[in-house]
Amino acid sequence: MKVLVLNCGSSSIKYQLFDSKSKIALAKGLVERIGMSGAVLTHHRYDGEKVSLVAEILDHTMGIEYVLAILLSKNHGVIEDKSEIGAVGHRVVHGGEDFSGSVLITSEVVKVLEDNVGLAPLHNPPNIKGIQAVTRIMPDIPQVGVFDTAFHSHMPPKAYLYGIPYELYKRHHIRRYGFHGTSHRFVSEQAAQMLGKPISELKLITAHLGNGCSMAAVDGGVSIDTTMGFTPLEGLLMGTRSGDMDPSVILYIMGKEGLILSEANTLLNKHSGLIGISGESSDMREVISSMHDGVKRAKYAFEIFCYRVRKYIGAYAAALGGVDAVVFTGGIGENSADVRRESLKDLSFLGLELDPERNAKGDNIISTDSSRVKIFRIPTNEELVIALDTEEIVREMKK
Ligand code: ADP
């Protein structure tokens, strides 16, 4: 079956068309600047062919129509007829407490997503727009929602409740949800394969370090704790997000700087993290390069980033009561030998021994042969998980 995977943002649509049997992405691309002047569609075919086109794309429906047109196009396409697409899988950011796995999208599911908009006001509305657009364009095609939060939905209350009055959890659903679940699940499963053991027997720590960063403690294939919380702001230092801090700091800054709620929100989500500390960039490559040039604030940003990863490795080794492997993924986790080295320095007391050469080369196994705990570098593939979940659910539906 061919599955179209969509990740709809407020002004963008990322897409990949998968052949779920071969697990190959036949084409992928990005529509940017939806609703703005100079919207652009960039399309890559599996054979390396690439094309960009500028168009007036007013909304998500038009964006998806353009995606279908390019997938069908004689020169750049990969299919001959729309009917070759058997299903559409959507990345949905927030499933709230309602979804513990991927689901076939029905009007009831859309209603629940709409009810959850308050929990993810930036992310869920464009996800819903994408679903509605597909319904408009291809009314009969089955659609599946794959949630960023689902993999963490089995965390125990001691991991997901905050130390605030319990009534607030009951009234407003304020609790830790966790995100990047699809990635943590994918790399956990890959790690189990690499270890040659059933995932049910393994204790894993996974670190997804990209623009957004999170770690998870995965016990027997179940996420029992993760660093992101009610929103993706909690936990590790990120490109532009602060991660963990004393909540009083926010109140104090608001008072001192006279900030209103939305400004404080922007400060913590867009102007903090690597960019806030370095004052230069949210891009880890640039932070590292400035650090090598002797820029002190870049060094602080790098060190804080790695120190948090290191602290959570310790915390999760304790939470799990042991660990079989630590996995690095995401743009930084996959590509930065410096970050991996600094985060894992002197952790041999936990059984973690990084092999400097394997790490520098970026091998998939980067621990030494004698390391009691394995260390892996595994490229993530969230879109493939979405495609495979979608195919499975649609196959079950048709039985
Ligand atoms: P997103 O979370 O948006 O999917 P990615 O997973 O692609 O982002 O990660 C983006 C981050 O990866 C950026 O901070 C970028 O600097 C970092 N990155 C990519 N390549 C390297 C590299 N070679 N060394 C260090 N960081 C890198």
What pTM was computed for the model? 0.95
Residue from 148, 219, 225, 338 carrying the catalytic annotation: 148
Q: How confident is the model at residue 398 (pLDDT cuts 50, 70, 90)?
A: confident
Work out the percent of the chain whose per-residue pLDDT is above 70.
100
Please indicate whether residue 360, judged by its CB atom, sits closer than 6 Å to ligand 1.
Answer: no
Average pLDDT over residues 172-191: 97
| Ligand 1 atom, smallest distance to 239 CA | 14
Residue 243 Cβ contacting ligand 1 at under 6 Å? no
Give the pLDDT band of residue 346 (cuts 50, 70, 90): very high
246-271 in b/e form (b: 16+ CB < 10 A) is: eeeebeeeeeeeeeeeeeeeebbbee
| Residue with CA at minimum distance from ligand 1 atom 13 | 283
Q: Are 288 and 336 in contact (CB under 8 A)?
A: yes
pLDDT attached to residue 20 = 86
What average pLDDT does the segment 197-214 reach?
98
pLDDT at 361: 98
Query: Helix axis angle, 124-137 relative to 107-115, nearest 10°?
Result: 160
Is CATH 2.30.30.110 what the domain over 196-382 is classified as, yes or no?
A: no
Whether the domain at 2-147 and the domain at 196-382 fall into the same CATH topology: yes
**Token pair in block for residue 26:** 């036949």
Q: Identify the band that residue 242 occupies on the pLDDT scale cut at 50, 70 and 90.
A: very high
Q: Which two tokens stand for residue 349?
A: 């007391």
**pLDDT of 119 above 90:** no
Question: In this predicted structure, what is the pLDDT of residue 207?
Answer: 98
Q: Where are the domains of the chain?
A: 2-147, 196-382
Mean pLDDT calculated for residue range 209-224: 97
Q: Strand, coil or helix: what is 66?
A: helix
How many angstroms is it from 212 CA to the middle of ligand 1?
9
Tell me the mean pLDDT in the region 55-62. Answer: 94
Q: Where does 2-147 sit in CATH, by number? A: 3.30.420.40
Band of the pLDDT at 215, cuts 50, 70, 90? Answer: very high
Predicted confidence at residue 131, as pLDDT, reads 97
Q: Are 230 and 175 in contact (CB under 8 A)?
A: yes
Pair 99, 14: CB distance under 8 Å? no
Q: Which of 336, 343, 380, 383 to mutate to test the pocket of ligand 1 (most atoms within 8 A of CB)?
A: 336
Residue 148 a catalytic site member: yes
**CA 344 to centroid of ligand 1, rounded, Å:** 19
Confidence at residue 374, expressed as pLDDT on a 0 to 100 scale: 98
Bridge partners, residue 102, by sequence: none
Tell me, what DSSP letter sits at residue 149? T
